[in-house]
Amino acid sequence: MSGSQRLTDSAAWRALQAHYAAVKDAHLRTLFADDPGRAARFTVEGAGLTLDYSKNRITEETVRLLVQLARERGVAERRDAMFRGEKINVTERRAVLHVALRAPRGERIEVDGQDMVPEVHAVLDRMAAFANQLRDGSWKGHTGKRIRTIINIGIGGSYLGPEMAYLALRPYSDRTLDFRFVSNVDGANFDEATQGLDPAETLFVVSSKTFTTLETMTNAATARKWIVSALGTDAAVARHFVAVSTNTPGVQKFGIDPANMFGFWDWVGGRYSMDSAIGLSTMIAIGPENFRELLAGFHNMDEHFRSTPLERNLPVLMGLLTVWYNNFFGAQTLGVMPYSAHLARFPAYLQQLQMESNGKHVDLTGAVVDWQTGPVIWGEPGTDGQHSFYQLIHQGTKLIPCDLIGFLQPLSPLTDHHDLLMANMFAQAEALGFGKTAEELTAEGSPTFQTPFRVTEGNRPTNAILADRLDPRTLGSLVALYEHSVFTQGAVWGIDSFDQWGVELGKVLANRIIPELRDKAAPKLTHDSSTNALIERYRRARNS
Ligand code: G6Q
């Protein structure tokens, strides 16, 4: 079990090390040539998604040993403990129950003996009533005008999901409403988001689990001034602000009526919260029905994760493949390339999900790990990426496994574009996997002097993830796929994927520096010489 035994001491780990030495040079060209059934053998389906992982540097033995590793590390037991509401976030002594956010009515998921599902649905019902009022125009601003723009103020987990989902599901959204997002404390973010808007037609959704986050509270205070100065009275706040939070006193203190607050629970981590009330702006955009479809997609993948044997379990396999490249091949990063313009912010969303969850240096016992944990996650939509950084993936010296995500049906009526888009996705996976040899180039008439430069080695691993179309249900499945892949990785590495202590230090130090920038009579600076000099340079520039 993870936690009780060091990862590198486990039998499966040792077996994988020996196996790695034997297969590390095997080329995908040979693996495919030797096994005509390879694609079928390494393709799995679940919750409306297909994962073709055949273009990975693996054999059946690799999968057997990786699954064995998952068993030895107690992935299934830990997963079941999560679903039972046990406090698997050990450093914060909290349950981890985002799966309860999408449990259907009537299912039971308990925290400390209390069934949470009825509360979840009570909040969803209130959100739906509010979303409908905005969508049908019955919710009016202070002056009686209809709300036209909704601005989500929030950061990190209270921003990335809502923005990603809004962009992903725009074709399902009410186009008469405009949605904007303010996250950064840089005043430019607020300025740009409110450009050209009529305050009388603008609603702010202040999304903050804690309702104490510096950036969000600063932006919310600015928004409050913007509304009150334009509409002439504090009374306007009631019609132009709603809050999503777990902190009722904080919300009241800000001046928002708790009747206009939508709650959630401490067992929902920020980066796992887009399907909680944090998704209020998403629900307003796509409507309650579509939001429930989104939740159904999440739930389908939860069920797949919970009940499918590890060998055919999509998130388990994806998580184990990440471990394979991260810990055995020494890959530092993982690329995620959606072949969908609507998924433009999906890589950024996954960046937080994966890097905040698995960027850890100690195991569950607090001992420093002597194995690699979470990789760097990055990506851009294909085909744009192909015309910029794919060169390095094809011919550079680093191994970068990539997930390529595509959809069989287009959302755009420009269907001929879709064939071109998907041809590119399939072609990239083919080129990355099989490359082009010097012999092939010569046979094609490549000038001899150019041949070495044109050789593409291939053997670059990819996962192909396909779904029928990008709709709310599919998006839910896709996000849950990555959530549970992250879970699997964290369980293998024996770390707490649900805390984020590393984020704290910077926050504390910023709070110390703020008065040093503002207070002209601030005491002598006592940082290191570089920080002192940077602060002094800033003060001189601002005070001159
Ligand atoms: C997510 C993190 C972090 C958090 C933000 C916003 O898992 O904890 O990104 O979501 O710091 O926090 P609040 O919602 O409390 O403002």
pLDDT at residue 5 in the model: 79
**What pLDDT, in 10s, does the model give residues 263-303?**
999 999 999 999 999 999 999 999 999 999 999 999 999 99
**Span from the CA of 222 to the centroid of ligand 1 (angstroms):** 20
pLDDT at residue 459 in the model: 98
Nearest C-alpha to atom 9 of ligand 1 is from which residue? 156
pLDDT at residue 339 in the model: 98
Nearest C-alpha to atom 1 of ligand 1 is from which residue? 270
Nearest C-alpha to atom 13 of ligand 1 is from which residue? 208
**What pLDDT, in 10s, does the model give residues 333-377?**
999 999 999 999 999 999 999 999 999 999 999 999 999 999 999
Confidence of residue 544 (pLDDT cuts 50, 70, 90): confident
Backbone angles phi, psi at 427, to 5 degrees: -65, -40
Contact (CB, 8 A) for 53 and 42: yes
Query: Which atom of ligand 1 sits closest to the CA of residue 278?
Result: 14
Mutate to test the pocket of ligand 1, among 92, 213, 351 (most ligand atoms within 8 A of CB): 213
**Span from the CA of 421 to the centroid of ligand 1 (angstroms):** 35
Query: Which atom of ligand 1 sits closest to the CA of residue 500?
Result: 8
Residues with CB under 6 A from ligand 1: 155-158, 208-210, 213, 216, 269-271, 356, 500
**Span from the CA of 36 to the centroid of ligand 1 (angstroms):** 48
- The token duo for 422 is 């998907």
**Span from the CA of 106 to the centroid of ligand 1 (angstroms):** 30
pLDDT at residue 445 in the model: 97
**Span from the CA of 269 to the centroid of ligand 1 (angstroms):** 8
Question: Average per-residue pLDDT in the chain?
Answer: 97
Give CA–CA dist 236/154, Å, rounded: 21
Query: Which atom of ligand 1 sits closest to the CA of residue 157?
Result: 10
- Compute how many other C-beta atoms are within 10 angstroms of the C-beta atom of residue 125: 12
Q: Does the pTM of the predicted model rise above 0.95?
A: yes
**What pLDDT, in 10s, does the model give residues 215-264?**
999 999 999 999 999 999 999 999 999 999 999 999 999 999 999 999 99
pLDDT at residue 2 in the model: 45
pLDDT at residue 523 in the model: 77
Region 65-69: what's the mean pLDDT? 98
Query: Which atom of ligand 1 sits closest to the CA of residue 156?
Result: 9
Give CA–CA dist 491/512, Å, rounded: 36
Mutate to test the pocket of ligand 1, among 160, 205, 210, 219 (most ligand atoms within 8 A of CB): 210
Mutate to test the pocket of ligand 1, among 503, 504, 505, 507 (most ligand atoms within 8 A of CB): 503
Closest CA relative to residue 467, chosen from 481, 453, 454: 481
Contact (CB, 8 A) for 82 and 490: no
Please identify every residue annotated as catalytic: 356, 387, 507
**Span from the CA of 79 to the centroid of ligand 1 (angstroms):** 23
pLDDT at residue 1 in the model: 42
Closest CA relative to residue 325, chosen from 67, 58, 514, 29: 58
Residue 144 DSSP code: S
Find the largest Cα–Cα distance for the chain.
78
Give CA–CA dist 319/425, Å, rounded: 22
Contact (CB, 8 A) for 203 and 244: no
Give just the sign of the alpha carbon dihedral 101, 105, 108, 113.
Answer: positive
Backbone angles phi, psi at 455, to 5 degrees: -60, 130
Rg of the Cα atoms in the chain: 25
Query: Which atom of ligand 1 sits closest to the CA of residue 154?
Result: 16
Using alpha carbons, list the distances in angstroms from residue 422 to 137, 404, 411, 470: 40, 10, 13, 14
pLDDT at residue 506 in the model: 87
pLDDT at residue 68 in the model: 98
Using alpha carbons, list the distances in angstroms from residue 300 to 49, 96, 278, 294, 296: 10, 18, 21, 10, 6
Contact (CB, 8 A) for 429 and 462: yes
pLDDT at residue 4 in the model: 62
Using alpha carbons, list the distances in angstroms from residue 538 to 478, 516, 542: 44, 10, 6
**Span from the CA of 500 to the centroid of ligand 1 (angstroms):** 9
Region 43-60: what's the mean pLDDT? 98
DSSP 56-92: SS--HHHHHHHHHHHHHTTHHHHHHHHHTT---BTTT
Q: For residue 136, what are the contacts with CB-CB under 8 A and spacing of at least 6?
A: none
Q: For residue 440, what are the contacts with CB-CB under 8 A and spacing of at least 6?
A: none
Closest CA relative to residue 215, chosen from 185, 186, 254, 192: 185
Angle at 336 between CA 282 and CA 78, to 5 degrees: 75
Give CA–CA dist 150/59, Å, rounded: 50
Give CA–CA dist 414/410, Å, rounded: 8
Give just the sign of the alpha carbon dihedral 430, 431, 433, 435.
Answer: positive
Angle at 259 between CA 258 and CA 260, to 5 degrees: 85
Give CA–CA dist 459/361, Å, rounded: 30
**Span from the CA of 442 to the centroid of ligand 1 (angstroms):** 55
Query: Which atom of ligand 1 sits closest to the CA of residue 215?
Result: 16
Nearest C-alpha to atom 8 of ligand 1 is from which residue? 270
**Span from the CA of 21 to the centroid of ligand 1 (angstroms):** 42
Mutate to test the pocket of ligand 1, among 246, 500, 505 (most ligand atoms within 8 A of CB): 500
pLDDT at residue 377 in the model: 98
**What pLDDT, in 10s, does the model give residues 139-193?**
999 999 999 999 999 999 999 999 999 999 999 999 999 999 999 999 999 999 9
**What pLDDT, in 10s, does the model give residues 483-537?**
999 999 999 999 999 999 999 888 889 999 999 998 877 779 999 999 999 999 9
Q: Check pLDDT > 50 for residue 3.
A: no
**What pLDDT, in 10s, does the model give residues 377-415?**
999 999 999 999 999 999 999 999 999 999 999 999 999
Nearest C-alpha to atom 11 of ligand 1 is from which residue? 156
Q: What percent of the chain has pLDDT over 90?
A: 96
Closest CA relative to residue 179, chosen from 59, 61, 55, 280: 280
- The token duo for 404 is 């390529």
Query: Which atom of ligand 1 sits closest to the CA of residue 213?
Result: 16
